[in-house]
């Protein structure tokens, strides 16, 4: 059995969950994003997005800052350096597996 197949169990489960993967993928493409942008980009519900962001924050992958824009609450989210490293590693493992499967090895 190839190393790529064996490494499936080593994929970061914090990132691998589809909702969190969507959030991390969006955040990896920018410096930061507000809650509304993430909501629209991922298609998640407010409650699910909030819950998944909390899990990512607890894991040290996302930094969340809350404030106000005028009279309205405003939440900004960004990947931490640890979150960027974890996503990069996840993506490299995922691509290696996909390449292995596409090459029929």
**Structural domain of residue 75, as residue ranges?**
12-97
In-domain check, residue 89: yes
CB proximity list for 25: less than 8 A, separation 6 or greater: 87
Is residue 92 over pLDDT 80? yes
Residue 49 lies in a domain: yes
Q: Say which CATH number the domain at 68 has.
A: 1.10.10.10
The answer to the question of residue 2 being in a domain is: no
Under the banding of pLDDT at 50, 70 and 90, the label for residue 97 is confident
Confidence of residue 4 (pLDDT cuts 50, 70, 90): low
* Number of domains within the chain: 1
pLDDT at 105: 53
CA dist 43 and 9 (Å) reads 27
> Quick one: 29 exposed, middle or buried, by C-beta within 10 A (0-12, 13-18, 19+)?
exposed
| 42 assigned to some structural domain | yes
Cα-Cα-Cα-Cα dihedral of 81, 35, 29, 86, to 10°? 40
Q: What is the mean pLDDT of the chain?
A: 92
pLDDT tens figures, 26-42: 999 999 999 999 999 99
Element (H, E) at 91: helix 81-102
Whether residue 5 is contained in a domain is answered as: no
The predicted structure's pLDDT at residue 26: 98
């Amino acid at each position: 059995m190839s190393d790529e197949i064996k490494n499936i169990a080593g994929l970061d489960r914090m990132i691998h969950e589809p909702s969190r993967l969507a959030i991390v993928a969006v955040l990896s493409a920018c410096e930061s994003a507000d809650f509304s942008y993430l909501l629209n980009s991922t298609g998640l519900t407010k409650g699910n997005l909030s819950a998944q962001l909390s899990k990512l924050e607890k894991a040290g992958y996302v930094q969340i800052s809350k404030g106000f824009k005028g009279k309205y609450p405003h939440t900004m989210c960004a990947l931490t350096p640890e979150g960027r490293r974890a996503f990069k590693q996840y993506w490299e493992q995922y691509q290696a597996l996909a390449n292995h499967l596409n090459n029929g090895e």
